[in-house]
């Protein structure tokens, strides 16, 4: 009954031995992205390649996953949390608005909160999982908030479907919702990871001065819910006994 994380390898022959888990450009250099109102777009082809190869950030604007269409004007779309992490935690990305003005942390936070009222929780979960070496992608196609991969989506199937909630929220614990999301995850060999994110102080009203301050008073509870096949369990125990 011990908990074991499932990591299922993909049948792919893709190899990239130089890939780093984070894009770390040379001293003084920064990637450039434009905030379009929905995502942060990186357009320069060498930057697109570097960002996707090192840490699998973003999604190709003309592809299903990474930028693979081969089209020269394909851009890399970074999600809000990804862009925020690259720009203000790792300091390797400069985010500009459509007019070419650099967006500072406070403004970016305000824009993101307008788009997603739980942006702070999502960001905290993103940084939390990132520090544990996971590759994080959007979970929208499986009905969750994030999908987390070992190494890269090119090599592994996602191990967890992550759902994010506040402590007093009960929506994910409704029987039909939990069973539904569990079923979707199970058919694709994933586990459901429920992250309950609590803020110890009331951080809603004020705008934090710097990125780490914004999330340092948050703490996370992890719950994994797995379906238990009781009929095959008892049968397997019996067979072991007979053998």
Partner 1 sequence: MNDEKLANLVEIVPKRGYLSPNELIKQRHVEIEPPRVGLKRTHNENSPEELAELEIAYANLRTQLSVPRIERLAGRSLATYHKDQQVVEVLKKDGKFEHFGYSHKGKFYLEYYEALFLVELNRLQLEHEGMILSMEQNYNFLLGPAACDRYNHYLVYSCLSRLGYIVVRHRKPEVSRDDCIWALLEEKISHKPIVDDIRTSSFFNELQSQMEASTQRIISQEFQSQHGSTEFKYNFGKRKAYEEYSPASSTVRKRVCLPTNQSLVDVLKADCSYFKFKRIFQKFDIVKLAKTTATSYNDKIKLNIIFDLYLPNEGFRKSLCQTPSFYVVILPMGALFPTHNDIARLQSSVPLLIISVSESKQIQAFLYYIS
Write out the residues near partner 1 by the rule CB under 8 A: 1-3, 5, 7, 20-22, 24, 89, 124-125, 127-134, 148, 150, 160, 170, 173-175, 178-179, 182, 193-194, 196, 198, 212, 215-216, 218-231, 234, 237-238, 241
Q: What whole-number distance in Å separates Cα of residue 152 and Cα of residue 129? A: 14
Query: Closest separation between CB of residue 60 and partner 1, Å?
Result: 25
Please provide residue 63's backbone torsions phi and psi, each rounded to the nearest 5 degrees.
-130, 170
How many CA atoms lie within 13 Å of 224's alpha carbon, on the beta-carbon side?
15
Tokens for 87? 């720009």
Cβ distance to partner 1 smaller for residue 45 or 153: 153
Cβ distance to partner 1 smaller for residue 39 or 196: 196
What letters, b where the CB count within 10 A reaches 16 and e where it falls short, cover 98-119?
Answer: eeeeebebeebbebbeeeeebb
Cβ distance to partner 1 smaller for residue 101 or 176: 176
Cβ distance to partner 1 smaller for residue 57 or 134: 134
Give every CB contact of residue 52 below 8 A, 6+ residues apart in sequence. 58, 60, 66, 67, 76
Give the other-Cβ count within 10 Å of 44's Cβ. 14
Query: Closest separation between CB of residue 75 and partner 1, Å?
Result: 26
Query: Closest separation between CB of residue 37 and partner 1, Å?
Result: 27
Q: Note the helical H segments in 24-115.
A: 45-53, 80-84, 105-115
Q: Is 45 helix (H, G, I), strand (E, B) or coil?
A: helix
Cβ distance to partner 1 smaller for residue 97 or 220: 220
Query: Closest separation between CB of residue 182 and partner 1, Å?
Result: 8
Decide if 43 contacts 100 (C-beta within 8 A): no
Decide if 195 contacts 163 (C-beta within 8 A): yes
Query: Closest separation between CB of residue 8 and partner 1, Å?
Result: 14
> For the CA atoms of 113, 118, 105, 36, what is the dihedral angle to 10 degrees?
-50
Cβ distance to partner 1 smaller for residue 50 or 61: 50
Query: Closest separation between CB of residue 26 and partner 1, Å?
Result: 16
Query: Closest separation between CB of residue 148 and partner 1, Å?
Result: 7
Cβ distance to partner 1 smaller for residue 113 or 225: 225
């Amino acid at each position: 009954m011990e908990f074991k994380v499932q990591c299922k390898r993909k049948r792919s022959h893709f190899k990239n031995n130089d890939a780093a888990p984070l894009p770390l450009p040379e001293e003084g250099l920064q990637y450039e992205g434009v905030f379009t109102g929905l995502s942060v777009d990186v357009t320069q082809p060498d930057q697109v390649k570097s960002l996707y190869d090192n840490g699998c950030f973003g999604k190709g604007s003309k592809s299903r996953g990474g930028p693979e269409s081969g089209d020269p004007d394909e851009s890399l779309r970074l999600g809000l949390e990804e862009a925020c992490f690259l720009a203000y935690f790792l300091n390797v990305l400069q985010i500009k608005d459509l007019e070419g003005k650099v967006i500072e942390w406070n403004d970016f936070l305000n824009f993101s909160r307008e788009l997603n009222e739980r942006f702070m929780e999502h960001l905290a979960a993103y940084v939390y999982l990132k520090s544990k070496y996971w590759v994080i992608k959007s979970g929208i196609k499986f009905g969750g908030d994030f999908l987390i991969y070992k190494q890269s989506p090119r090599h592994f199937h996602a191990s967890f479907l992550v759902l994010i909630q506040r402590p007093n929220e009960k929506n994910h614990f409704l029987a039909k919702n939990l069973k539904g999301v569990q079923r979707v995850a199970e058919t694709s060999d994933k586990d459901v990871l429920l992250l309950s994110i609590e803020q110890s102080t009331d951080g809603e009203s004020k705008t934090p001065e710097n990125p780490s301050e914004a999330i340092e008073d948050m703490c996370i509870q992890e719950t994994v819910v797995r379906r238990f096949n009781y009929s095959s369990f008892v049968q397997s125990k019996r067979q072991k006994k007979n053998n």
